[in-house]
């Protein structure tokens, strides 16, 4: 028989030969996919046909690659509802063309109305940046988070934050706030606001231990709000060191006389 044809011409003979079918190493995942597809179709026969017609999500989610923080599931939204970009420690860098391309497509083509930067407590990337652990190539990427740590060194070293876990939580929050400012400062978002396009940038953080999202109170809806929103968020992150209670014994006992 004549070789098969495609839009680009004939398929070479060595590609068209039938090889013995090899067993799938991940057949359990393929079976789970079939079961899921069947269940979704049973509940809504038109679901996949509707998805095939295109996407019009209202939200862009910029989150961490951590497998425990799946964007759609933690906000209980179906496929097609959230446009997603994920990387280690939910960083938004003005030199990351991958992230900027996602951002541009979401804002200019999909016309999303909300950009959510969502970090999470217990982030391994943030922990490595806080503890100055060396992990190899990824250290270059985590330089962004280390810059956040150095910028807010005074806050992170306050006496009240003696607990390493508290420092960790605070750096996770500060990192989100800084990335929100980075998103809002991009030419993509700035131009959308200049055109009057409705667009809000939010900062959230997710608790893996309880499955709940915390709004960090940082939200920008136009260029004029960036500085004030940032100052307000920083004020919320301030930790007041309580005055010592005179009834409480001192931390260090007086020397014996």
| Catalytic residue numbers, as ranges | 64, 66, 68, 120, 123
| DSSP-assigned letter for residue 21 | P
Tell me how far apart the alpha carbons of residues 63 and 71 are, in angstroms, rounded to a whole number. 8
Q: What pairing do the DSSP bridges indicate for beta strands 9-10 and 59-64? A: unpaired
Residue 201, beta-bridge partner list:
115, 220
CB 215 within 8 A of CB 114: no
Give the C-alpha distances (Å, rounded to integers) separating 242 from 159, 213, 239, 246.
10, 28, 9, 12
C-alpha R_g of the chain: 25
- Which ranges constitute the DSSP H helices of the chain? 13-16, 27-43, 47-52, 71-74, 97-104, 124-131, 138-151, 153-156, 164-184, 187-194, 226-237
Give the whole-angstrom CA distance, residue 238 versus residue 241.
Answer: 10
Phi-psi domain of 163 (left: phi exceeds 0; alpha: psi -120 through 50; beta: other):
beta
Crossing angle of helices 226-237 and 164-184, rounded to 10°: 180
């Amino acid at each position: 028989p004549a070789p098969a044809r495609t839009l680009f011409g004939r398929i070479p003979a060595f590609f068209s030969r039938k090889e013995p079918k090899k067993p799938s190493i991940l057949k359990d995942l393929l079976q789970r996919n079939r079961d899921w597809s069947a269940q979704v179709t049973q509940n809504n026969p038109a679901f996949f046909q509707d998805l095939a017609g295109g996407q019009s999500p209202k939200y862009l989610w910029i989150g961490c690659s951590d497998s425990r923080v799946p964007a759609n599931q933690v906000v209980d939204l179906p496929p097609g509802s959230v446009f997603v970009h994920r990387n280690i420690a939910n960083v938004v860098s003005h030199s990351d063309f991958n992230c900027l391309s996602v951002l541009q497509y979401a804002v200019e083509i999909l016309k999303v109305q909300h950009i959510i930067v969502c970090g999470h407590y217990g982030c391994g990337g943030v922990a490595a940046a806080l503890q100055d652990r060396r992990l190899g190539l990824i250290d270059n990427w985590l330089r962004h988070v280390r810059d956040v740590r150095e910028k807010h060194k005074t806050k992170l070293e306050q006496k009240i934050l003696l607990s390493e876990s508290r420092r960790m939580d605070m750096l996770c929050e500060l990192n989100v706030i800084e990335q929100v400012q980075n998103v809002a400062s991009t030419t993509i978002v700035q131009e959308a606001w200049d055109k009057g396009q409705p667009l809000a940038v939010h900062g959230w953080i997710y608790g893996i231990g309880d499955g709940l999202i915390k709004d960090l109170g940082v939200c920008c809806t136009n260029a004029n709000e960036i500085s004030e929103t940032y100052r307000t968020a920083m004020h919320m992150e301030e930790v007041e060191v309580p005055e010592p209670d005179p009834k409480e014994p001192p931390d260090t006992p007086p020397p014996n006389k």
